[in-house]
């Protein structure tokens, strides 16, 4: 009797494992998902499928919405406004555009690179983006042309942070208002799901980051020469 019960339990467990594996295929089963790093736990194709259906699971949303504390390095210098990969350091008309690409697995809370006062917050759609030129590296590939531009007047000059959506990410949120004072590394906004953040700084400021390097919002120094 005991042997039969054990056999029944083993068979039941095996069947349950197979059912869960088949249900999740071709993505990781819930039984092993927690053992995997984020990129393997939630593959990009699976996340995009959830977005099309409008129903990401709570486990992924909890991970995505994480907002860890960050400590800005001592001294002067602009810190990165976002987590992600630096994809361009393009310069135009005296302005350098530090482009940071975010993935579905990056922290999506943006931070102020320097202390100052918020002088302008503009939300722009397709007319603005088409008007300033689709040949910008950070605009050319965007299928959902929506962005928010936050301008901060600092003791060293004006900087601006652009939060730009992709096709899958169309929601932008600002945590600050015009006229508000911000401190270095303060949370200023959030993009829902993978997209792009662009830091606009004077071209004369030398940068410490390089294309292909990863940065962390509020911690990685972008430039120290603010003269």
Q: Residues with catalytic annotation?
A: 195
Residue 55: exposure state from Cβ atoms within 10 A (0-12, 13-18, ≥19): exposed
- The single-letter DSSP state of residue 141 is T
What residues does 214 pair with on adjacent strands? 85
How many Å apart are CA 100 and CA 213, to the nearest integer?
Answer: 10
* CB-CB contact of 101 with 87 (8 Å): yes
Report CA-CA distances (Å) from 79 to 70, 170, 209, 216.
11, 25, 10, 8
């Amino acid at each position: 009797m005991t042997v039969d019960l054990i056999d029944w339990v083993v068979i039941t467990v095996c069947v349950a494992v197979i059912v869960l594996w088949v249900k999740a295929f071709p993505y990781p089963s819930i039984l092993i998902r927690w053992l995997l790093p984020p990129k393997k736990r939630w593959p990009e194709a699976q996340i995009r499928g959830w977005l099309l259906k409008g129903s990401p699971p709570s486990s992924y949303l909890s991970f995505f919405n994480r907002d860890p504390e960050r400590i800005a390095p001592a001294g002067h210098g602009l810190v990165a406004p976002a987590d992600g990969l630096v994809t361009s350091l393009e310069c135009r008309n005296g302005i350098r555009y530090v482009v940071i690409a975010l993935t579905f697995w990056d922290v999506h809370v943006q931070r102020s690179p320097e202390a100052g006062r918020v002088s302008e917050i503009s939300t722009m759609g397709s007319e603005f983006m088409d008007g300033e030129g689709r040949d910008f590296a950070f605009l050319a590939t965007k299928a959902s042309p929506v962005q928010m531009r936050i301008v901060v007047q600092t003791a060293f000059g004006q900087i601006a942070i652009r939060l730009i959506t992709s096709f899958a990410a169309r929601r932008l949120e600002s945590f600050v208002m015009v006229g508000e004072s911000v401190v270095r590394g303060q949370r200023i906004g959030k993009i829902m799901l993978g997209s792009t953040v662009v830091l606009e700084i004077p071209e004369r400021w030398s940068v410490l980051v390089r294309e292909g390097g990863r940065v962390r919002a509020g911690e990685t120094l972008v430039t120290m020469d603010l003269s």
